[in-house]
Amino acid sequence: MKTRKQNNRKTNEGAVTTASEDAGMYVKLNVGDIEAKFVVDTGATLTLVSSKLYDMLTPLDKSYLSEVKTTVRSVCGNKLELRGKGRFNLHFGPNMLQSEAVVTDLQVDGILGLDFMKRHNCLIDVKNGHFCIGDFKVDLCFQGSIGCYRVVASEAVVIPPRSEIVINGTVCLAEGQKLPADNALLEANEHAGKDYILTARTLVRSGEKVPVRLMNTELDPKTIYPGTTIAQMSGVEQVLDGNISSNEQKHDGLRPDLQDLLDRTSDELTSKDKQKVKSLLIENQNLFASSDVDLGRTNLVKHEINTGNARPFKEPPRRTPYHLNKKKNKQTLRTESDNNTFVPLDTENDTAENDPIETPYVQDIAVHESTLPEEETQGK
C-alpha cells in the first residue's frame, strides 16, 4: 500500500492509498489475541487496520476511535470510509509496541506505514528476509504475484443470469509505476469466483483501459460496482503463435504415424512407386493430423451470416415454463411395438383418432389416460 500527501485545503485530503492488495511484503503479528499479517510498505504514510480485524477484537483490545479528518483514497481515486483512529497493541512475538492506526475497509489485515517505521527505527532486510524493529527483528514473508497490476471495474454493470459480457476495466497504477510495454495477460486474482463471477484469461494490449470478459454462472443477475477488483494484469515477455501445430515443424523424414500408414497400404506397390508416395507424403505431411486433438486451420473459406442492419444479440438458454409442462407431455404418444415408435399427435385437434396412422409395424397402441386430453378422458 503506497500513500502520498495531497495539499488541498478545500477538501482537507491528507493521504492517498495505492495498494496492490495481496502482493507485497508481510509480517506476522498479533493485535490483542488475534493473529494477523500486515503489509510492510515504506510508501504508506499511515498505518491502517482493516475493519474486519477491528470487529474481531475483544472489548478490552478495542481502542476508542477518534474522528479522522484525513481522507484516504484508493489507487483509482475512490474515497475509503474511515471509522476512526485509535491506538493498538501490536505484539511481535514476546515484544509489544503501541501504534496509532486508522480503521478502514481493507482486503488485507492491515498495513504498517511509514509513521510506524520511523517512530520505531525500523529496517527492512529484503536479502535475508528480516524486518528489524529497534533492537529485535521478525521474519518477512512475501505473498502474491509481484509485478501484477490490479484491474477494477470502470462503471456499474449488471450481468444477466448464465451469461457472459465484456466490460472496460481500469488498470490501477501506483505512483511512478509504468504499464507493460506491449502485451499483457489478464487473469483472475485470488478473490475471483466469489459471487459466482468468473474472469476469463485474456491476452490484451497494454493500456490504462483493458477489456475484461466476465461470466455469471448463477440463476440470478449479478451487479458489478465501480472500483470492484475484477482481474489482475501482468506483463508478457513473449507471445508465441498458437496457430502453429506440432505437425508443422520440420522433420528430416516421414513422421512415424505416416510411415506406419505407408507400410500398411503399399504392399502392391513397386519400390519405385513406394518411394514416390513417400516423397509426396514428406512434402505434404503437415496436412495430416498427428493426433485426435490436432485441428487444422484454413483461410480459404470464411463462414459468415449476413444479418443486414439487425444487431446481433445473445439469448440465454431457458427452461420450459411450469404451466406448459402438461401441454408438452400431451404432444407425444408412446406406442408399444417392435421398434417402440413415438407417434406425434395433431396439436391442432389434440387427438390421435382424427388422424389415423396406418403402418404395418405397429401391432397395438397403448393409450394411457395421463397422455389424453381431459375431455376425451372424461368421455371414456
Task: Give Rg (Cα) of the chain.
Answer: 34
DSSP H or E run through 343:
strand 342-344
**Across the chain, what does the average pLDDT equal?**
75
> Please, are residues 258 and 285 in contact by the beta-carbon 8 Å criterion?
yes
Q: From CA 117, how far away is CA 124, in angstroms rounded?
A: 10
pLDDT of residue 308: 83
Task: Decide: 1 and 58 in contact? Cβ < 8 Å.
Answer: no
Region 339-360 average pLDDT: 47
The C-alpha atoms of residue 248 and residue 99 are separated, in whole angstroms, by: 64
Of 149-153, 174-178, 241-245, 373-377, the range with the highest mean pLDDT is: 149-153
Bridge partner list, 92: 95
Query: CATH for 3-143, among 3.30.2130.30, 3.30.9.10, 2.40.70.10, 3.40.50.2300?
Result: 2.40.70.10
Residue 333, pLDDT > 50, answer no
Task: Give the SS3 label for residue 80.
Answer: coil
> What are the sequence ranges of the domains in the chain?
3-143, 149-235, 324-379
Picking from 173, 175, 166, 178, the residue whose alpha carbon sits closest to that of residue 210 is: 166
* Helical axes 256-265 vs 271-283, angle rounded to 10°: 150
What values do phi and psi take at 88, rounded to 5? Answer: -125, 145
Task: Answer for the pair 31, 49: CB distance below 8 angstroms, yes or no.
Answer: yes
pLDDT band at 313 (very low <50, low <70, confident <90, very high): confident
Around Cβ 283, how many Cβ atoms within 10 Å?
Answer: 9
CATH, domain range 149-235: 2.70.40.10
Q: Render pLDDT for 107-166 as a digit per residue (tens, 0 to 9).
A: 788 888 888 998 988 999 888 888 999 888 899 887 765 667 888 888 889 999 889 999
Check residue 191 and give its pLDDT: 52
Label residue 328 exposed, middle or buried (CB < 10 Å: 0-12, 13-18, 19+).
exposed
Give the separation between CA 80 and CA 14, rounded to whole angstroms.
12
Task: Please tell me the predicted confidence (pLDDT) of residue 213.
Answer: 92
- What is the value of pTM for the model shown? 0.42
